[in-house]
Amino acid sequence: MQPGLTFLDAVNVPSGPGTGDDRYGFDEGQGTAWVIDGATDVGTRRLFPDIGEAPDAPDFGWASDAAWYADRLSGQFLNPPQPDETPRAYLERVIADIDRLARRDAVVPIDEQPRHNLPSAGGIWMRRQEDVLEFAGLGDCVAIIHTGGHTQFIGNLDMIRAEHALNRKQLAEPAGKAGGYASARETRGRMNTEGAHWVFSLHPEAAAHAEVTQVQIRGEAHVLLMSDGFFRLVEPYGLYDINTLMDRALEDDALPDLTAQLRAAEQNPEDDIRLGRLKTSDDACAVLVEIS
């Protein structure tokens, strides 16, 4: 059996009470790891049971539809791909399974819902294939890999910067954050359609648009997978760049300290317009693994 990977550390810090909408996971034996950023609910009604909604099961349910989706997607990633299955084919199968689970769990008919009511997420998944690492992503989760003395960024930095720029514009308008969330609802209504953005949701065809990257391992490798909330340390806060964030992450007990720095930068809502933050504080999730 080929060696997989070794889990080193992880953080998942919600921006408020409850579990938040981010999730991470890994399977050392299979050589897989992932981070999921459930997209904040912007719909007009809930699709899945709220916590305490069932009177005979007070702890049953999810804090948000985004939390339902992140939980289910993370659970599906525990089922590894077949050895000859491509990343896009694997994601297509995973999303099809999520769609079936949604139809089972939903408290309203899925087919009657407008697209902006459907749950969605950004996510990045990776696996080790001998001396190659494969990454597949939809949305704005990212990764940093350090191997052979070099550091490489995996993700769509242009999309992240464009989102912050759009937020700055919207927050400066009279409608402020309310207008920003209305715009987010309109954007969500076009997700996974031609000419719009492609994300994890209930549409298996989105998998064909996943960004797939292969990286050759040169000796030892370390990978830091993270949600965009954790990546705020780089963009837009500028507290680190790709290289210095990876260097810091590899130090002892670094991830909790990095999260503390992140939250320290999110104390003043008056900075939201300048930084392009629709949410002053966002859920932050990261997982660090080693491949040797």
Per-residue 3-state assignment (H helix, E strand, C coil) for the chain: CCCCCEEEEEEEECCCCCCCCEEEEEECCCCEEEEEEECCCCCCCCCCCECCCCCCCCCCCECCHHHHHHHHHHHHHCCCCCCCCCHHHHHHHHHHHHHHHHHHHCCCCHHHCCHHHCCCEEEEEEEEECCEEEEEEECCCEEEEEECCEEEEECCHHHHHHHHHHHHHHHCCCCHHHHHHHHHHHHHCCCCCCCCCCCECCCHHHHHHCEEEEEECCCCEEEEEECHHHHCCCCCCCCCCHHHHHHHHCCCCHHHHHHHHHHHCCCCHHHHHHHCCCCCCCCEEEEEEEEC
- Residue 218's pLDDT is 92
**pLDDT for 1 beyond 70:** no
Whole-number mean pLDDT of the chain? 93
- Over range 99-125, report the average pLDDT: 96
Q: What is the pLDDT of residue 53?
A: 59
How do residues 172-221 score in pLDDT, each as one tens digit?
888 888 888 888 889 999 999 999 999 999 999 999 999 999 999 999 99
Whole-prediction pTM: 0.94
Q: At what angle do helices 254-264 and 242-249 cross, to 10 degrees?
A: 130
pLDDT band for position 50 (50/70/90)?
A: confident
Residue 264 has pLDDT above 50, yes or no: yes
Show Cβ contacts of residue 56 under 8 Å, excluding neighbours closer than 6 positions. Answer: none
